[in-house]
Chains A and B, each alone.
Chain A
Amino acid sequence: MILWQLFTSFFKIGLFTIGGGYAMLALIQEEIVHYGWMTPHEFVDIVGIAEMTPGPIAVNAATFIGYRVAGLAGALLATSAVVLPSLISVLIVSRFWARYKSSQGVQAVFAGIRPVVAGLVGAAAVLVGRASLQVLAPGSIHIPTLAMALVVFLGLLYRKWDPIKVLVVCALVGLFIFK
């Protein structure tokens, strides 16, 4: 039963991951909260781990959550489920690639989906932010965390910092400054 839930959840996540990683964070959170697979702040930790380890975030998150919920079988099943839509959709689309690319209908649909993806990534920032700013200060906002998030945001956007180095530095800052 739980394996079936994992499979359908991650198949759905794979199917609706369009335009890359972060857009599906809102969807993953929706699924894990719905099934009670982990707490909101464990979810933030997983996003952190997925960032620091190689590979697509969707795949990392699937393996991790699958393992936590149902061991090795869960990990392999969730990971297979999250990549299965890729396998199906790419094999179909590559067959009709030329026609697909120039279809005005397809173009119009994507002109609507692209801004949705931007909105969903924004929503992921708000949702993850809300979980993460309250871990050290339940019910209110942890100011040092907020300040650090803001510095990271500006540095990535205007100074083109390397995300991996940012994570390592922030881990060290947390280790020595936060309690």
Chain B
Amino acid sequence: MTRDKNWWKLFTAFFRIGLFTFGGGFAMLPLIEKEVVEKQGWAEKDEILDIFAMAQSVPGAIGVNTAVFIGGRLHGVPGAIVALLGVVTPSILIILIIAQFFEQFQTNPYVARAFSGVRAAVVGLIAAAAVRVGRGAIVDRFGLVVAGTALFLSVFKLIPVIWVMVLGGLGGYLYALTRGRLGQK
């Protein structure tokens, strides 16, 4: 691992990751692995999986979390900030350009029609993501009940989304407690 502070290299590596990953989240992982492990040697191959697992289980987007972790390990807090700026700058620039023209776009009849197709696709895209996430996350009857309850509560907006998550975490803890899984420490 190089210890000379090459800020520019850190910034551009994560800028590339931010620029070439569409769809966010899991789509970013292969590119991050290639850039961070193969090209720069900032992490070992089997270590990167642990880093991804961490990135998924703390607050924030996975790509952003990985950038903060790698940057922070290389050069402390300033490194974390540089890597973070690298990964979000492409998004910010592109979205700002699109936002400039969005109002004109919206009222254009051709764009409006194209977007009616995009809207249909987005529904299918999210539904497919729900099934894919569900397959990984629901492993027993407890999980099924929790997922169903969360779906119900947030579709009918019975309690704020944040409370649904807090209750889920609490439920998981209590469930493990009743199963005696937290006994031996």
Q: A residues near B, CB below 8 A?
A: 12, 14-23, 25-27, 30, 41, 44-45, 47-60, 63-64, 67-68, 72, 75-76, 79, 83, 85-87, 89-91, 93-94, 97, 100-101, 104-105, 107-129, 132-133, 135-136, 144-146, 148-153, 155-157, 163-164, 166-167, 170-175, 177-179
Known contacts A86-B68, A90-B69, then 15 further A-B pairs from the complex at CB < 8 Å, ordered by chain A residue: A19-B57, A23-B133, A44-B119, A44-B122, A50-B95, A58-B24, A63-B99, A89-B59, A90-B54, A113-B172, A119-B150, A121-B134, A153-B125, A156-B128, A170-B117
Would you give 28 A-B contacts (Cβ < 8 Å), ordered by A? A22-B126, A55-B94, A56-B24, A59-B92, A63-B95, A79-B88, A79-B92, A83-B60, A83-B88, A90-B65, A90-B72, A93-B54, A93-B58, A108-B176, A113-B165, A113-B168, A113-B169, A115-B146, A115-B147, A115-B168, A118-B134, A119-B146, A119-B147, A122-B130, A124-B126, A126-B151, A170-B120, A178-B113
8 tightest A-B CB contacts, nearest first? A112-B172, A174-B117, A152-B124, A119-B150, A86-B60, A55-B91, A116-B168, A108-B176
Minimum Cβ distance to chain A for residue B51 (Å): 9
List chain A residues, Cβ under 8 A from B171: 112
Query: Is the CB of B1 closer than 8 A to any CB of chain A?
Result: no
Query: Secondary structure at chain A's binding surface: helix, strand, loop or mixed?
Result: helix
Task: State whether A85 touches B169 (Cβ < 8 A).
Answer: no
Task: State whether A119 touches B56 (Cβ < 8 A).
Answer: no
Task: State whether A18 touches B91 (Cβ < 8 A).
Answer: no
Chain B 100-132, CB-CB to A under 8 Å as 1, else 0, gives 001000100010011111111111111111111
Interchain CA distance A15-B93 in the complex, whole Å = 23
Interchain CA distance A12-B154 in the complex, whole Å = 17
Task: State whether A108 touches B182 (Cβ < 8 A).
Answer: yes
Minimum Cβ distance to chain B for residue A130 (Å): 9
Query: Is the CB of B48 closer than 8 A to any CB of chain A?
Result: no
* Nearest B residue (CB) for A121: B130
List chain A residues, Cβ under 8 A from B128: 152-153, 156-157
Minimum Cβ distance to chain B for residue A83 (Å): 5
Task: State whether B147 touches A118 (Cβ < 8 A).
Answer: yes
Query: Secondary structure at chain B's binding surface: helix, strand, loop or mixed?
Result: helix
Query: Is the CB of B37 closer than 8 A to any CB of chain A?
Result: no
List chain B residues, Cβ under 8 A from A121: 126, 129-130, 133-134
Minimum Cβ distance to chain B for residue A149 (Å): 4
Interchain CA distance A164-B21 in the complex, whole Å = 11
How many interface residues does B have (CB within 8 Å)? 102
Chain B 72-87, CB-CB to A under 8 Å as 1, else 0, gives 1100010011001001
- Given the known A-B contacts A51-B22, A152-B128, are A59 and B61 also in contact in the complex, defined by CB atoms under 8 Å? yes
Task: State whether A56 touches B113 (Cβ < 8 A).
Answer: no
List chain B residues, Cβ under 8 A from A109: 169-170, 172-173
- Given the known A-B contacts A18-B58, A128-B122, are A91 and B68 also in contact in the complex, defined by CB atoms under 8 Å? yes
Minimum Cβ distance to chain A for residue B47 (Å): 11
